[in-house]
Amino acid sequence: MSYTIAEIAKALGAKALGDGAISVTALAEPADAGPDQLALATKPEYAEALPKGRARAALIWEGADWQALGLEAAIVAPRPRYAMSGLTAMMDLGEGWGEGIHPSAVIHESAVLGEGVHVGPLTVIGAGASIGAGTRIGPQVSIGADARIAEGGLIREGARIAARVRIGARVILNPGAVIGGDGFSFVTPEKSGVESVRETLGDQGDAAAQSYVRIHSLGSVRLGDDVEVGANAAIDRGTVRDTVIGDRTKIDTLVMVAHNVVVGTDTLLCGLVGIAGSTRIGNNVVLAGQVGVGDNLFVGDNVIAGGGTKILSNVPAGRVILGYPAMKMDAHIDMYKNLRRLGRLVADVAQLKKSVSKDGQSD
């Protein structure tokens, strides 16, 4: 893979400066860059490291003086981070899987594969499954009966797609992702302690200890177009209807989405996020790492939750939240400052009690 600076700038819709004929074969951080690599000097503090490397060309910020930086060529993008999308797509080396259907794959005779589908070694495709054109499936993947994957997908090593799952176009599943595990849905013969606690916020009542019986998951999972699911993340089946992930929503590594959850479009669920059963998450939401959302809740559009936030009640649209339990981020920061002064407050009140009781005595 080799591109000239002029070719790259053209593909990105960016400006080329200097010798556009210089060609590069990879990207690199400034200090590590060799003469045939494009250095990523997108901020002054990154550019400082250019002399440590041997880059002749770099991606720079608007207004940077490429010649003063010692470069022979440069690409200027108004939003360099956005340019990284196109740039990394051009330079992606891929998985090295090759083409075609590997003879060791076990594909049911009733499965339908579109044009240009790649199926890796030791992958299993069940009865009635259908795979859209151009989808690339890695080694040791499972695709269940009657599952449907639209065109242009990338399904990596050991991903699991259960029976009847529906997957949109251009979806990426990372290694070990599970789409369609069982919903965690159980019921006791009589009212349980948990049901009492939910009503009373703390009292189990006199519920007898009981065993749970399983509510089977009859629903499946639907992923919209351009969804990405991280390594070892898991999205469970719905009970009666499907669990649904909206178009262009991105789900990170080790995220858990429970049964019946509906996630909107253009939403980010970061690493180790957990969303409990039947909760609805809006569009353009961002839940940072290790956020948890209780069951049967509603999180509105454009909500942003900071790392570790535990959401135990509904969140209106547009709110920025943090903490356990979640509160508005600015209120949380104020509260936390006060918390750090709590020792002094306790001392102040003790002192005041002494003063006031002395005052009282002097009455």
**Under rule CB under 8 A, which residues in 94-123 are in contact with a second copy?**
94-98, 102, 104, 106, 120-122
Shorter beta-carbon distance to a second copy: residue 114 or 294? 294
- The per-residue DSSP string of 83-137 comes to HHHHHHHHH-------SSB-TT-EE-TT-EE-TT-EE-TT-EE-TT-EE-TT-EE
**Near a second copy in 256-285, by CB under 8 A:** 256, 258, 265-266, 268, 270-272, 274, 276, 283-284
Residue 165 and residue 183 in contact, taking contact as beta carbons nearer than 8 Å: no
**Can you say how many angstroms the Cα of residue 195 is from the centroid of all Cα atoms in its chain?**
32
Question: Counting contacts by CB under 8 A, is residue 340 touching a second copy?
Answer: yes
Phi-psi region of 243 (alpha: psi -120 to 50; beta: other; left: phi over 0): beta
In the three-class reduction of DSSP (H, G, I as helix; E, B as strand; rest coil), residue 362 is classed as: helix
Strands 186-187, 221-223: parallel, antiparallel or unpaired by DSSP?
A: unpaired
Question: Counting contacts by CB under 8 A, is residue 240 touching a second copy?
Answer: yes
Stretch that binds a second copy, among 15-23, 45-53, 111-119, 288-296 (CB under 8 A): 288-296
Shorter beta-carbon distance to a second copy: residue 6 or 215? 215
Beta bridge partners of residue 73, listed in sequence order: 18, 57
Question: Counting contacts by CB under 8 A, is residue 54 touching a second copy?
Answer: no
Determine the straight-line distance between the first and last CA of the chain, rounded to whole angstroms.
Answer: 91
Least Å distance, CB 164 to a second copy, is: 7
Residue 277 and residue 295 in contact, taking contact as beta carbons nearer than 8 Å: yes
Shorter beta-carbon distance to a second copy: residue 21 or 331? 331
Considering only residues 51, 52, 65, 346, which one is a binding residue for a second copy as defined by CB under 8 A?
A: 346
Stretch that binds a second copy, among 9-17, 41-49, 63-71, 225-233 (CB under 8 A): 225-233
**Residues for the chain: how many in total?**
363
Residue 329 and residue 315 in contact, taking contact as beta carbons nearer than 8 Å: no
Torsion of CA 105, 109, 110, 115, to 10 degrees: 60
Question: Counting contacts by CB under 8 A, is residue 356 touching a second copy?
Answer: yes
Shorter beta-carbon distance to a second copy: residue 1 or 21? 1
Least Å distance, CB 323 to a second copy, is: 8
Q: How many CA atoms lie within 13 A of 170 on its CB side?
A: 6
Least Å distance, CB 22 to a second copy, is: 19
Least Å distance, CB 173 to a second copy, is: 10
Q: In angstroms, rounded to a whole number, what is the distance separating the alpha carbons of residues 101 and 164?
A: 22
Could you tell me which residues come within 8 angstroms of residue 142 by beta carbon, excluding any fewer than 6 positions away?
Answer: 123, 124, 126, 159, 160, 161
Shorter beta-carbon distance to a second copy: residue 114 or 176? 176
Least Å distance, CB 121 to a second copy, is: 4
Q: Which amino acid is located at 249 in the chain?
A: T
Residue 228 and residue 170 in contact, taking contact as beta carbons nearer than 8 Å: no
Considering only residues 241, 296, 314, 316, which one is a binding residue for a second copy as defined by CB under 8 A?
A: 241
Residue 220 and residue 164 in contact, taking contact as beta carbons nearer than 8 Å: yes
Shorter beta-carbon distance to a second copy: residue 15 or 65? 15
Least Å distance, CB 73 to a second copy, is: 19
Least Å distance, CB 21 to a second copy, is: 23
Question: Counting contacts by CB under 8 A, is residue 43 touching a second copy?
Answer: no
Residue 29 and residue 11 in contact, taking contact as beta carbons nearer than 8 Å: no
**Near a second copy in 301-320, by CB under 8 A:** 301-302, 304, 306-308, 310, 312, 318, 320
What are the catalytic residues? 259
Stretch that binds a second copy, among 16-24, 41-49, 61-69, 245-253 (CB under 8 A): 245-253
Spatial CA neighbour of 87 closest among 165, 1, 148, 152: 1
**Near a second copy in 140-199, by CB under 8 A:** 140, 142, 144-146, 156-158, 160, 162-164, 172, 174-176, 178, 180-182, 184, 186-190, 193-194, 197
